[in-house]
Amino acid sequence: MIVGTEWLIEAEGCNQDKLRDETALRGIFARIIEDLGLKVIGSVWHKFDGEGGVTGMTALTESHLACHTYPEHGIATFNLYCCRMRPEWNWKENLRAALGAETVQVTRIERGSKIFYSPDPKSEIRNPKSKTAGGDA
């Protein structure tokens, strides 16, 4: 039983100033929401002090959107979880344009009673016999 799709995005080699720019990150969320026709319930945003990054979370009627940035590492992570079918957003081109991301890795996961992965070819898959955290044996 698939109840939704979640995309996990890792963007590397990003511009550090952009990763501290809450306005820029809010702008990315606004584009995603508009492009995919999503409906916002509410949001929480936070810029960590000094050189710190930004956390953004938006609850959607279709589920949620989140980002966390790590300026010291040039990395930003995004999550988009949609419980209704949506077209694929062009994360690679859009994050390159908005954040200067050099590489963008996209993993798609079906949520529900069985999880099916579409791992990015660059990712490594750990042996399923390695530790799992508190699930059924």
Other Cβ atoms closer than 10 A to 74: 19
Catalytic residue among 14, 64, 67, 68: 68
Shortest distance (Å) from residue 90 CB to a second copy: 5
Is 117 among the residues that bind a second copy (CB under 8 A)?
Answer: yes
- Whether 67 is catalytic is no
- Whether 46 is catalytic is no
Is 25 among the residues that bind a second copy (CB under 8 A)?
Answer: no
Window 63-102: contact mask with a second copy (x via CB under 8 A): xx-x-x-x--x-x-x-x-x-x----xxxxxx---------
User: Under rule CB under 8 A, which residues in 3-22 are in contact with a second copy?
Assistant: 3-4, 6-8, 10, 12
Tell me the site size for a second copy, rule CB under 8 A: 70
CA distance 31 to 57: 15
Shortest distance (Å) from residue 27 CB to a second copy: 18
Q: Is the dihedral of CA 126, 129, 133, 135 positive or negative?
A: positive
Is 31:90 a contact under the CB 8 Å cutoff? no
CA 123 distance to own-chain centroid: 16
Q: Which residues contact 15 (CB under 8 A, 6 or more apart)?
A: 74, 99, 100
Instruction: Give the active site residues.
Output: 63, 68, 83
